[in-house]
A and B are shown apart, each in its own frame.
Chain A
């Protein structure tokens, strides 16, 4: 069973700054890695799949990278609407698994 570990748990940044979130898999997941954004009271929203492909209607300031066991989500210039919790997820084999999340706060 693959375990997904995200860091940091909380990231404090100012609007306009760059944010880099990390996700590590306990074994290789290739590029089968997704990132989701979740705001309070809302369903998660798919941001990135295939480790680096932006989902539909996702702004270009969101970018994903990595392969195998180490992945990053970068938000190039934080907007007010980007303050949320971000989860990574592998879908390489069963069982799928999510990371514990990174809260991006002001």
Chain B
């Protein structure tokens, strides 16, 4: 069974940092690129970041460049998202997603981890 399980969310003060993890199972992680997507409460989906299968290519949403860093550890089947200088509008459910076998669209999603930014 293919699974993506996010963790690391919680309540953080504005200006602080937080690192999210996405542990995968049921497929060969090192063969796939991965993405992070976020969804503020009651709002739509926002693409956050991409990392290639070997970790050498990374792309970010323009509004997040410089504050968020995507990384991966293929030996641990885990994807990460380091978030710094957090703002109240970063509050969202953060989900990891995997492209399909035959498409770059996202066919496997995790359930997400909630990040709340509040003093």
Q: List chain A residues, Cβ under 8 A from B73.
A: none
- CB of B62 within 8 Å of the partner chain: yes
Instruction: Please name the residue on chain A nearest to B64 by beta carbon.
Output: A95
Minimum C-beta distance from A42 to chain B (A)? 8
Q: Mark B48-89, 1 if CB is under 8 A from A, else 0.
A: 001000000001111000000000000000000000000000
Contact indicator per residue, chain A 10-49, by CB within 8 Å of chain B (1) or not (0) = 0000000000000000000000101010100001111001
Tell me the residues in window 39-91 of chain A with beta carbons closer than 8 Å to chain B beta carbons.
Answer: 43-46, 49-50, 53, 55-56, 87, 89, 91
How many A-B residue pairs lie within 8 Å, measured between CB atoms? 60
Chain B 81-101 interface mask (CB, 8 Å, partner A; 1/0): 000000000000001000010
C-alpha spacing A56/B108, complex, angstroms: 11
Chain B 19-50 per-residue mask, 1 if CB under 8 angstroms from chain A, else 0:
00000000000000001010000001111001
Contact between chains at B44 and A101 (CB < 8 Å) = yes
**Contact residue among B60, B105, B111 (Cβ-Cβ distance under 8 Å from A43):** B111
Report whether A43 and B109 are in contact in the complex, using a CB–CB cutoff of 8 Å. yes
Known: A1-B62, A43-B110, A43-B111. A50 touches B103 (CB 8 A): yes
Contact A34 B103, beta carbon cutoff 8 Å: yes
Q: Chain B, 101-119, contact with A by CB distance < 8 Å: what is the 0/1 string?
A: 0011111011110000000
Residues of chain B contacted by A45 (CB below 8 angstroms): 109
**How many angstroms from the CA of A101 to the CA of B45 in the assembled complex?**
8
* Contact indicator A44/B109 (Cβ below 8 Å): yes
Interface residues of chain A, those whose CB is within 8 Å of chain B, are 1, 32, 34, 36, 38, 43-46, 49-50, 53, 55-56, 87, 89, 91, 94-101
